[in-house]
């Protein structure tokens, strides 16, 4: 794989992270509750760190080792998977924000996982596998928040 192709692949991943940053920033700006704002700010910061890692990988491919969980594979809790998706409006409540965000993280995880399988056994496959792992970690955090804040309240 040429350097140009590698950089194009990383650039697509960076754009996915930028979309997540935009989504969570919009939700943060529209959130009404302080706890929602704190959690969404954390998500924005995580996505920015993720984007920064990808930009570092763009410059130095050895930085790929910094991606992914260093404490073991994240577990897919599948709490949100069976819920219907929702759109994110300016008056979305915290539950809707969590469902939407979790569905997006799952979609991104599935995208990266499919690419990892397509490039299995290559450096690119390893990159997408690590990216998928990071997205699954984000989904896990969102599902734990949903469980703690929504399910336990009901």
Return the top range by mean pLDDT from 41-50, 93-102, 128-137: 41-50
Cα angle for residues 19, 23, 28 (degrees, 5° grid): 145
pLDDT band (50, 70, 90) for residue 69:
low
Q: Tens digit of pLDDT for each residue in 2-11? A: 667 778 888 9
Average pLDDT of the residues in 70-98: 69
Q: In the chain, how many domains are there? A: 1
Range of the domain at 130: 3-151
Task: Check: pTM over 0.85? Answer yes or no.
Answer: no
Is the per-residue pLDDT at 30 higher than 80?
Answer: no
pLDDT band (50, 70, 90) for residue 84:
low
Q: Tens digit of pLDDT for each residue in 96-135? A: 888 888 888 898 899 889 989 988 988 778 888 888 888 8
Q: Is 135:116 a contact under the CB 8 Å cutoff?
A: no
pLDDT reported for residue 10: 85
Q: What percent of the chain has pLDDT over 70?
A: 79
User: What is residue 151's DSSP assignment?
Assistant: I
Q: Is 101:27 a contact under the CB 8 Å cutoff?
A: yes
> In terms of Cα–Cα distance, which of 145, 53, 49, 150 is closest to 101?
145
For residue 67, what is the domain's CATH number?
1.20.1260.10
């Amino acid at each position: 794989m040429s350097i140009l192709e590698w950089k194009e692949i990383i650039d697509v991943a960076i754009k996915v992270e930028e979309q997540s940053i935009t989504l969570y920033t919009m939700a943060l700006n529209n959130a009404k509750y302080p706890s929602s704002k704190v959690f969404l700010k954390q998500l924005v910061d995580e996505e920015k760190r993720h984007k920064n890692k990808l930009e570092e990988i763009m410059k130095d491919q050895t930085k790929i080792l910094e991606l992914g969980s260093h404490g073991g594979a994240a577990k897919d809790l599948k709490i949100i998977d069976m819920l219907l998706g929702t759109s994110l409006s300016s008056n979305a409540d915290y539950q809707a924000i969590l469902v939407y965000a979790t569905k997006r993280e799952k979609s991104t995880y599935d995208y990266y996982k499919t690419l990892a399988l397509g490039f299995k056994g290559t450096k690119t496959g390893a990159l997408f596998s690590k990216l998928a792992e990071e997205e699954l970690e984000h989904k896990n955090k969102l599902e734990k928040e949903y469980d703690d804040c929504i399910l336990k309240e009901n």
